[in-house]
Structure 1
Amino acid sequence: MLRSKQGKRIPAEVCLNIVEQALKDDPKSIKGFVTISKDFNLLLKRYERSLVKNTLTPGINLHYNLLPSCANPEWVKNASPCSYRWLSELHMRTKHDSLYLAEHRMSLMWGSTWPLFPPRPGSTYTTPPEYAEFNKHMRMLKLQGIELLYEIADCTVGLKTGRQVDFMHELEPLELAKLGIMVVALSQGYDDLHGSLVEHLPGPVKRERICVYKNKLLRYGPYFAIAATKNDPWVTTVIDEGLNELGAFESSTMPWKVSAPSLQSQLWKILCQKVGCSLPDGWEKAKELVEEDLKARALDV
């Protein structure tokens, strides 16, 4: 246990309070504490769950694993609920990764194609204050979409498509709209960033790459998009594997083969079923739902 400069033993309660405050500032500080002594390490293990819970803000789901943030999530053990690693992962998402992706040009949403924050009468959002207001609401929309991407990846730890589809069925239409719009934005951003690398390919092949990218984005969550912004080879490997699987399926002559619907097609199908529109109208309906939400938020300010 810790001792003061005078050699007096510091009570466990005081030690735990010190650790708790340090965890609130930076969960990675636990790495330093566990090396202090064997007894101190045992104390931290004994009170791990309570220390983590005390550092969290209300409303955090304490009962699901988190997909690890790394180049290839399948290589790393998942973060168990209320563990120090789980807390560090949560902190990394909210304080770093989500903000990074929301502010990166890969997630750009600008123009009539995307949901528009309802302007005030006569406003074109060309002055700095007006643009700042628009940007604030768009940033919030992106963060909400990114959070949903984390959740859909976490609900199965990126392994089973069926449970991800179940998760989408549980979402409200507005949540599905935000998730779908975020996937489209990040896939278009990926195409804008890396399109020059595949410009020699035929149009159908390019479209297949984007379709695979969307599905992998729904499977692995925001990490996949973040890795793409950093030109991580893992992204190319995953997309190539997806294209090979698609090619193998299409070239199969087995008459009984049945293709499982892709995650992105399931997303739009579920949204359209919930709002009662056709698939071709799904995008406009998603925009409408999000614009209504943005307008309601503006009125609440």
Structure 2
Amino acid sequence: MSEEGAPSLLPSEVTDLSEEVAMDQTGDVSYCVANSKTESATDFAFGLATPPGTPKAVTIKPDWFGSYFRPLRVLRPALPTLVEIINNRQTILTFRPGENITTLIPKVENYNMLVQTKNSIALPGEIVLRIIEEAINLEPTAVRTLSLVSKGFYTLVNTFEKSIVGSLILSDNGALTYTNSTTSPIIGTATISAYSVLEDKLTYKWYSEMRARAIIVETLSHHDIMFMDPGGNWPTLEIEKSELYQREVLMKKAGLLLLFKLADCIVGLESTSDIRGEQSRFLERLGETDLAILIACVELLGGNFKAREQVVCAERGEQLDNHDLTERMCVFEDKVQRFGPYFACAYLNGHLNSARRPDIWVMEELQQGLEDLNAFELGYTMAFASLQSVGWRIFMHKMGTTQSNSWNEAKKLVEVEMAGYKL
């Protein structure tokens, strides 16, 4: 590595690059860039299809989210064909009025040698950037791999970081709608147990966090841990099952967005009293419908967690009565509101990440919560009321309702909101 942190592999060492372009049946363009000298050390696969005769491709390794969550790929405009690139050499990206990528690229030494065709025709810098964009779109953590291709790639990736991320956001097709992407700073979930804070938007780390959150939202909104039972008389909308499911998913995503906001509002706070106070004020600022959706989603997560734990404990031969299971559920609900939707995902799938094992962190948090609850019940310590109970009190005050019918009132508001969604 150089003093600036760039790889020692210089552009002159990677001029022998080969590139193939193929069109699949949907019209997507696939790029495969490989260093023939190293065969596979710096090989990459972009897109969906690979034409015959291309160099062996090594898929860019996903981060640990991608290893066990449903893959998410933002649909982006197809890259130009090779003929269009060579004949037109048109400017693809524009950054500021009067200044385009063609005027900025020469600042990167030997940029035109980063990618070549098999006939040694250098691709223009703007196309190289589009390839970089597509790689990051397919897998946000590809930034690390791309930076190691050559010093030229390292410089290009870092010089145009904000522009690349901005372009990805503009063409995300709504994939980041439920990730709280408009707020800054936010709490990063990639190192949740250490609790990192992301200050700046339009950075690769921030974009990777948004994509990870989008995967979390997709995972939870379709998982049985947020299952709504129509047989239990809720929801009561008399529509086709397929349409009802779509409306349920939209409601769940709206609730998960509110949970992200609830977790992000405590950035910079450390003491429990400060955190609980800020989250309580956040709940106070919500309207009746949003508060009902948030409360309902937490109830869904908690109720399905309890049912899941009952089955798991029975399989392990553990004897837990309803009181013990209810205590676990209350602690789980409180942690989900404290750490956001990530906590629920880590509970479900954390064991699949053998390197970090976030499920162990989840179990430690749940155990600590149970110990704190027991200490409070025995009169050893003081404790805050659960955030879910705080939310219910705020809801009852806003609606002027009582505890006995507050759940029915919340469900009515949620159903009205679900019925109004545009599919």
TM-score interval, smaller chain:
0.7 to 0.9
User: Contact 2:220/2:345 (CA < 8 Å) preserved in 1?
Assistant: yes
Rounded Cα–Cα distance in structure 2 between residues aligned with 1:117 and 1:90 = 34
Q: 1:99-114 residue pairs with structure 2 within 5 A?
A: 99-111=218-230, 113=232
Rounded Cα–Cα distance in structure 2 between residues aligned with 1:37 and 1:291 = 55
The yes-or-no answer on 1:243 pairing with 2:364 is no
| Structure 2 letter corresponding to 1:83 | T
Q: For residue 213 of structure 2, what is the aligned residue in structure 1?
A: 93
| Structure 2 letter corresponding to 1:31 | R
Tell which deviates more after alignment, 111-120 or 145-154: 111-120
- How far apart are residue 45 of structure 1 and its match? 2.8
The yes-or-no answer on 1:186 pairing with 2:305 is no
User: Contact 1:145/1:182 (CA < 8 Å) preserved in 2?
Assistant: yes
**Helix, strand or coil: the match of 2:193?**
helix
**Helix, strand or coil: the match of 1:228?**
helix
Unaligned runs of 5+ in 1: 121-129
Q: For residue 123 of structure 1, what is the aligned residue in structure 2?
A: none
Q: C-alpha deviations, 1:270-299, integer Å up to 9, x for none?
A: 2222222223332111101011112233xx
Q: For residue 34 of structure 1, what is the aligned residue in structure 2?
A: 147
Q: For residue 126 of structure 1, what is the aligned residue in structure 2?
A: none
User: Contact 2:227/2:300 (CA < 8 Å) preserved in 1?
Assistant: yes
- How far apart are residue 42 of structure 1 and its match? 3.7
The yes-or-no answer on 1:290 pairing with 2:414 is yes
TM-score w.r.t. the length of structure 2 is 0.60
Q: C-alpha deviations, 1:220-257, integer Å up to 9, x for none?
A: 11122122223623322211101111222333467xx5
Q: For residue 91 of structure 2, what is the aligned residue in structure 1?
A: none
TM-score w.r.t. the length of structure 1 is 0.82
- How far apart are residue 154 of structure 1 and its match? 2.2
Rounded Cα–Cα distance in structure 2 between residues aligned with 1:137 and 1:263 = 27
Rounded Cα–Cα distance in structure 2 between residues aligned with 1:281 and 1:111 = 19
Q: For residue 263 of structure 2, what is the aligned residue in structure 1?
A: 153
**Helix, strand or coil: the match of 2:405?**
helix
**TM-align CA RMSD:** 2.9
- How far apart are residue 19 of structure 1 and its match? 2.5
| Structure 2 letter corresponding to 1:32 | T
Structure with the larger helix share: 1
Structure with the larger strand share: 2
Could you say which structure has the larger radius of gyration?
2
1:65 equivalent among 176, 180, 186: 186
Q: Percent identity?
A: 27
Rounded Cα–Cα distance in structure 2 between residues aligned with 1:253 and 1:62 = 39
Rounded Cα–Cα distance in structure 2 between residues aligned with 1:100 and 1:170 = 28
Unaligned runs of 5+ in 2: 1-109, 352-358
Q: In structure 2, do the counterparts of structure 1 residues 137 and 286 end up closer, same or farther at CA, with 3 Å as the change threshold?
A: same
- How far apart are residue 152 of structure 1 and its match? 1.4
Rounded Cα–Cα distance in structure 1 between residues aligned with 2:141 and 2:380 = 53
Rounded Cα–Cα distance in structure 2 between residues aligned with 1:155 and 1:253 = 30
Q: 1:197-212 residue pairs with structure 2 within 5 A?
A: 197=313, 200-212=319-331
Q: For residue 144 of structure 1, what is the aligned residue in structure 2?
A: 254
Rounded Cα–Cα distance in structure 2 between residues aligned with 1:111 and 1:210 = 22
| Greater RCO, CA 8 A, separation 6+ | 1
| Structure 1 letter corresponding to 2:367 | D
Q: For residue 403 of structure 2, what is the aligned residue in structure 1?
A: 279
| Structure 2 letter corresponding to 1:100 | T
